[in-house]
Amino acid sequence: DVKVTQSSRYLVKRTGEKVFLECVQDMDHENMFWYRQDPGLGLRLIYFSYDVKMKEKGDIPEGYSVSREKKERFSLILESASTNQTSMYLCASRNWRSSYEQYFGPGTRLTVT
Amino acid sequence: GQNIDQPTEMTATEGAIVQINCTYQTSGFNGLFWYQQHAGEAPTFLSYNVLDGLEEKGRFSSFLSRSKGYSYLLLKELQMKDSASYLCAVRRTGGFKTIFGAGTRLFVKA
């Protein structure tokens, strides 16, 4: 079974703090993704990485950065958290050679106060 | 522009059949996914259609018409555990991006 894990299920941070969200997958997938999920808006792509040290902006990258130093780990960084970044954050991975579906982690519900 | 539309909520009865529709307008199309997401959990893959027609997988079937920009997910013999959100998503050509709809919350009642 593919397993995607995220460092925290729930996180509460203060405005202005630097926040790190970690994602680890155990299936040697090349592609990894960070989404945020908000009611009525669905999943929106923040950043994705098609391989180690490679990254591309998604549809809503403002206020976020990412790091992919190792194949299994993809980190999302909020440089200075703001209240409008309160959301559910989902990480996903995919093996683009053998399948197209994405495997999702359980999500991190981030609240910025 | 890019847009994926699906109903916000649906209610159906245990044992019945329900059809969840999805229409899309995207710049480039390379397949359509359906995912299931139970409350508080990760989305899980249900189906992927790249050609027109019906794909059946147990109690779940998915249909695609590329010319109409239309898909549906058909759930038969509904069970209480099918209460979840169902996400329609389009894979775009020329890249790695998948665009997700807002999801349809399905309530199955006894």
Q: Which residues of B touch A44 (CB under 8 A)?
A: 100
Question: Is residue B75 exposed (0-12), middle (13-18) or buried (19+ Cβ within 10 Å)?
Answer: buried
What gap in Å lies between CA B24 and CA B7, rounded to an integer?
A: 13
In angstroms, what separates the C-alpha of B58 from chain A's closest C-alpha?
Answer: 19
pLDDT at res. B6: 96
pLDDT at res. B109: 96
Interchain contact, A48 vs B101, CB within 8 Å? no
- Band (pLDDT 50/70/90 cuts) for residue A2 is low
Six-digit token pair at A19? 């926040």
Segment B6-17, tens digit of pLDDT: 999 999 999 999
Region A32-56: mean pLDDT is: 93
Q: Which residues of B touch A101 (CB under 8 A)?
A: 33, 45, 48
Interchain contact, B101 vs A4, CB within 8 Å? no
pLDDT at res. B5: 95
Name the residue with tokens 């509460």. Answer: A12
Give exposure, A90-111, as e/b (b: 16+ Cβ within 10 Å). bbbbbbeeeeebbbbbebbbbe
Region A37-65: mean pLDDT is: 93
Question: Given strand A19-25, what is the order of strands in its sheet?
Answer: A4-6, A19-25, A73-78, A64-70
What gap in Å lies between CA B6 and CA B101, rounded to an integer?
A: 7
Segment B43-87, tens digit of pLDDT: 999 999 999 999 999 999 999 999 999 999 999 999 999 999 999
DSSP 3-state assignment of A37? strand
Chain A interface disruption, residue of B98, B99, B104, B105, most A CBs within 10 A = B98
